[in-house]
């Protein structure tokens, strides 16, 4: 079973074959280091984030059932679940659910071994994209470009002052020379 580094939206379901003695192989808490190590080893995974996996007894789902949980809780298309109804309804005992995010973008090859038995891989159903017109007519029409008023450049004012000052001094010098001659 290949997991790519860009895998997204896949949900893998495994059945846990418990021993006939009735003692649980896993403590159903993937956040416990012992349980996580056992599950990771049984999956053959090199990386597994416990926040994106679940280990639980099918009986705990009560009236919702495994198929209902897959549709309502995991977002799998009902048609996909109905297609595998006989196989899913036959499951009892403990189930392991692993989401794509559990692999944290690490490409790896899974090789599940006892006590895990692969049940199926399902895809999360994506909500269809639906575009609706905006509710207000105030947003209708074309936005016109508004001209910006011309603002004087302060650097040009300095340049004019630098150029005008010598001309003014020459003009005042000529007038002074003519008056006091």
> DSSP string spanning 6-49?
T--SEEEEEEE---TT---SS-S-TTSHHHHHHHHHHHT-S---
Has residue 154 been placed in a domain? Answer: no
Has residue 76 been placed in a domain? Answer: yes
Higher pLDDT, 7 or 132: 7
Has residue 148 been placed in a domain? Answer: no
Q: Which domain holds residue 93?
A: 2-123
Which whole number is the average pLDDT over 1-14?
92
Average of per-residue pLDDT values in the chain: 85
Q: Name the residue among 114, 16, 17 with its Cα closest to residue 56.
A: 16
Domain total in the chain: 1
Has residue 139 been placed in a domain? Answer: no
Q: Give residues with Cβ within 8 angstroms of 50, minimum separation 6.
A: 30, 31, 36, 102
pLDDT of 108 higher than 90: yes
Contact 66, 135 (CB under 8 A): no
Say what the pLDDT of residue 25 is: 60
How far is the C-alpha of 106 from the C-alpha of 6, rounded, in Å?
8
Has residue 176 been placed in a domain? Answer: no
| Least confident among 24-33, 117-126, 139-148 | 139-148
Neighbours of 131 (CB within 10 A): 4
Parallel, antiparallel, or unpaired for β 116-123 and 10-16? Answer: antiparallel
Has residue 57 been placed in a domain? Answer: yes
Which whole number is the average pLDDT over 102-122?
93
pLDDT of 121 higher than 80: yes
41-95 pLDDT, tens digit per residue, is 999 999 999 999 999 989 998 888 999 999 999 999 999 999 999 999 999 889 9
Q: Name the residue among 49, 127, 119 with its Cα closest to residue 84.
A: 119
Which whole number is the average pLDDT over 9-18?
90
For residue 118, what is the enclosing H or E element? strand 116-123
How far is the C-alpha of 93 from the C-alpha of 55, rounded, in Å?
11
Q: Which pTM was predicted? A: 0.66
């Amino acid at each position: 079973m290949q997991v790519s580094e860009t895998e997204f939206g896949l949900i893998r379901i495994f059945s846990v074959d418990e021993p006939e003695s009735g003692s649980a192989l896993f403590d159903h808490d993937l956040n416990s280091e012992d349980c996580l190590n056992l599950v990771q080893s049984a999956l053959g995974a090199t990386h597994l984030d416990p926040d994106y996996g679940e280990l639980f007894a099918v009986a705990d789902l009560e009236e919702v059932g495994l198929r209902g949980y897959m549709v309502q809780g995991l977002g799998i298309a009902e048609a996909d679940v109905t297609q595998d109804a006989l196989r899913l309804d036959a499951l009892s005992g403990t189930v392991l659910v692993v989401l794509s995010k559990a692999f944290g973008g690490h490409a790896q090859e899974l090789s599940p071994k006892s006590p895990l038995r692969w049940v199926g891989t399902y895809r999360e159903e994506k909500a269809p994209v639906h575009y609706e017109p905006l509710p207000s007519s105030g947003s209708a029409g074309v936005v016109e470009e508004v001209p910006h008023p011309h603002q004087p450049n302060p650097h040009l004012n300095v340049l004019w002052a630098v150029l005008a000052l010598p001309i003014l001094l020459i003009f005042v010098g000529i007038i002074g020379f003519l008056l006091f001659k």
